[in-house]
Chains A and B, each alone.
Chain A
Amino acid sequence: MRLATLVITVTVLFGLYLPMLVTNTWMYRSPAVEAVVFVVLAGVTAVIGATNRTSRVLLVVVFVGAVVATAAVEPRHLVGSPHGADDLSAWLGVLLLWGRPIHVLVGYLAAGYAVAPLQLWSAGLAEPEALARLAISNFSVFGLPFAVGVAVSALRRMVVTATRIADEQERHRTAEVMAEQLHADRQQRYAGLTATTVPLLAGLSGGGLDPADDGVRQRCAAEAARMRRLLAEHDDTPDPLLHELRACIEVAERRGLVVRFAVMGACSVPPLGARRALTEPVLAVLSAARSSARVTVARRASTVTVSVVADAPASAAPNEGKGLVSVTRLPCADRLGVRAIWHHTGEPA
């Protein structure tokens, strides 16, 4: 749209202004001044075309140029079409006020519209008929740029609104995707609990499991720790493995267990699946421990090892295995010891 306006301006410059300047020389008090104004306005047009910029200084130059060009015309020839400076200044005004509020352009065009009648009046030729003819001819000069300016302003408003609506829609879509993700996460967590927690709760509520039974209480302790770990998994923390282990230990300590927890080596963050596999043996052994336990984490460049040693019955030992994390029993004499190792590279331990 700006390019189209620029094309119109250049056409006015060479197709209207230049022929008028050449053929109407006899109407001017000073043809030289008219020629200088033409050159200046042509220069401004070139600058706008080359730099695509808007500028207050250029706007003032254009307006002064139009005033000077009009002043250089014999006042009695003002009614008619003595030069194209008015047309050009109006179009340049549209270009130089591009993107500004419409009332600024209206003010500029109105000022341009008033120049010729004022000069006519100052020359003492302001008869009603002459003024009316001038008003009508000038209306065609300033009307078209005004219409273009209004159209540009309306289009800009529409673009702004459309952008805002598009942004809002994008936000809604993002929120929707996040909500879906959250829902999927929750379902996945619930699926994790259904295998162990739900049967336990069902057994307790149905009377099939006796809360006085040690085994049942041990299962309850383990499930409480699993749920606590599940909550801890969603906390924002720089060291999730330690955070989740502490969650498991906290549950055990609430039962009165004395737990010593020692961590050595720089922080490393195994993926969630590996963290669960690393904490699971700790959770199982702590749930069955009678009075004391020691949990250690040793982190080296290639491995993360989590060990637990506690006064728990051997029956509480988790299954040994070599999955994502390898789990082994420690040959402790009178205590239960279990170790889980995760390798950074994913190779079997």
Chain B
Amino acid sequence: MTDLPGAEAGAEDLVRAAPTAPLGPRSGDGRRRLRDALMAYLFLLPALVTFAVFAYYPLYRLFWYATHRQPRFRNRPPTYVGFSQLWDSLTSRDFAQGLLHSATFMLYTVPLGLVLGVVLAVAAHRRLRGIKVFQTIFSSTVATSVAVASVVFFTLVNPEVGYFRNVTWLSLNDPTSAMFAVSLSSVWQNLGLTFIVVLAALQAVPEELNEAALLDGFGPVRRFFRVTVPLISPALLFLAIVLVIHALQAYAQIEILTGGGPAGSTETLLYKIADPKNIRSLDLKAGLSIGLFVLTGLVAFVQYTLLSRRVHYGD
């Protein structure tokens, strides 16, 4: 921009002229508006259809099942019994126990997974010869399916022949340690994702900022917490949400490692809903699903509102 008087006067003229200029299609042109609207809905249609088929309709059916009693004999139609049945499901022992197990699983996997991922990423974020080998090894679990990873982990903790069969705090036979063993396998499986995301975030932090912090006199620990962590906080928030959702959705590792046992001690809410042994009624499972749905939404909402205040999204 120049500051020649002529140039400024020109700019002011433009601003003054603006309100009289047309601001879009005339409002009187109704047919055109209708056509535009139809066109817009046409473009929205594929997304709407997908959501309707895979989300809205199943959600509706969920409520339908939760409020209808399944007949004892299959040749009779289900009968409407109202929301008291849903209330019964949500206050049942199954829901409370499943919730407790899910929460335990979350508490074991999310903080540990996040911290381990950050530690590994910080360790691998160096310009050292051969560091790429470590970066590849650390991120390898991303390319491993949950089933495969769980089977591999099972060979380690198998109570009969596993390498760690004598390690009591990893025992799958003990109700007090089984959940931790399953969690540990999840932490390991999610580590690749956490590692990659944190490493990418670290690499995006400008080197000059670290140098400025070094010259300012911040030691390595304060440099990390005062400069690095705030700058990678969006990645950390993203990971926290993803890991919580992973925890709430964990199924395969539980099925493969413990099958929900011993004595139901690893039956998370989702596991009870999936109910591979088919021991619960459909209306109870529908009720539990609604509970899990509300819970997941709540967790995501709380994380966004609480954490986003402390997250820095760059300038």
Q: Are chains A and B native binding partners rather than an unrelated pairing? A: no
